[in-house]
Amino acid sequence: MMDFDWKNIEIYDDDLSVMDILKKIIGDNDQDEPFYIFDVEDIVKKHIQWLKKMPRVIPHFAVKSNPNSTVIKILAALNASFDCASMQEIQLVMKMGVTDDRIIYANPIKAPSHIKFAKKVGVDRTVVDTKEEVLKLKELHPNAKLVIRIAIDGSSEKCLINFSEKFGCKPTDEAIELMKFIKIQKMYLLGFSFHVGSPCWDTASYGKAIEICKNLIEIAKDMGHLETRLIDIGGGIDGIKKDSLNKVAASVNAALEDVDPSIKIISEPGRYYVNTSFTLSARIIGKKIINQGKMTKKNYYINEGIYGSFFEELLDRRQRIPISLYNPSDEKFPSVIWGRTCDSSDIVIKNELMQDFKIDDWMVWRNMGAYTTATATIFNGFTPAAVQPFIRKTAL
């Protein structure tokens, strides 16, 4: 594969499945705490596929989705770039040898101390969507290269999470006013960015937003912003469905056909890279059967929860159904999965049909790489689940 220090990455035979690896770790270590296994090869394949399907679009991995040090090391070794939202994320990627020109500071609203740090380490590309942020940067980082974040339609039928509710200015008027203001302040306008939502189901949204950015670049140049030469298409690809990248690539590539080669195109994928590479296993530490008239509901208590790997369940964004590691079955029963803390809102599964599980059985969740380890806390004193990276021999 690539030139990389494989220390701390377990190497397994090719014939071992994900379930086999989970069982081996539990058996070899007398495992009691929840844990992840992380398939390193999966991320490498995702990067190669991206470069093949969208060769013009330079991916900047969204560190917020999964700041695991091995994830960052792998992508850094692949010469990927990075989307950072804070001083701490910039420090993390630079510690892995990433240079300032491979980083975009993509948080539209930044703390003054973080801006000062970005200036100190040479991270110049950053995102704005207000006049106030422009003035803040003029004072603290006058050589910053500004990218205006525009708001686009992120309605519920198009994506799960609409980022345009919080960030972005209207492209029809607010963005144009901000361009004028940046010109008056004698700041550097590098380009425009957008985010279609995460994950995005309407892949045509990318093409439509690119068309808006192309038009804004022409307006900017007419204003005298001759240095404007970047479009940032954000993230939003879940990476789980096999055709998700193909559909986005078709929309993006078509919209870029007539874009001048001098215009640089970048992106900020997070879920795409890490979703499918992480698998979580948690142990059942308690079980309670409740009879409700003619219906029996099975309540399970696991050593994980919403304060650990299931933050998106807390926000009612999804319910991910586990499978049994040791005793898979097709028969289903009304079930609830409770988390390990004392908080009565710590519910992983509220009411779903699931197979019967036994105490000390291990539940398994696939596709757990995004916004899981990144949002884990130590509430009630419980530590976040450990991550064991692995690779199979033929991938080396």
Report CA-CA distances (Å) from 252 to 54, 233, 339: 8, 9, 41
Sign of CA dihedral 119, 71, 378, 316: positive
Inter-residue contact 207 to 254 (CB < 8 Å): yes
- Tell me the C-alpha distance between 58 and 51, whole Å: 8
* Token pair for 132: 């106030």
The Cα 302–Cα 299 span in angstroms is 10
Q: What element of type H or E holds 142?
A: none
Q: Nearest-CA neighbor of 283 among 306, 299, 303? A: 303
- Strands, E, within the chain: which ranges? 10-12, 35-39, 57-62, 81-84, 103-105, 125-128, 145-149, 159-161, 188-193, 198-200, 230-232, 264-267, 278-292, 295-302, 323-324, 333-338, 347-354, 362-365, 386-392
> How long a stretch of residues is the chain?
396
Task: State the alpha helices, DSSP H only, in 161-297.
Answer: 174-184, 204-223, 244-256, 271-274
Pairing of strands 386-392, 10-12: parallel
Active-site residue, selected from the candidate residues 84, 159, 213, 342: 342
Nearest to 185 by CA among 177, 173, 193: 177
* Catalytic residue check, 342: yes
What SS3 class is residue 144? coil
Please name the residue that has the structure tokens 């995004």.
370
CA dist 132 to 109, 136, 164, 175, 349, Å? Answer: 9, 6, 18, 14, 43
Q: Which residues are annotated as catalytic?
A: 342
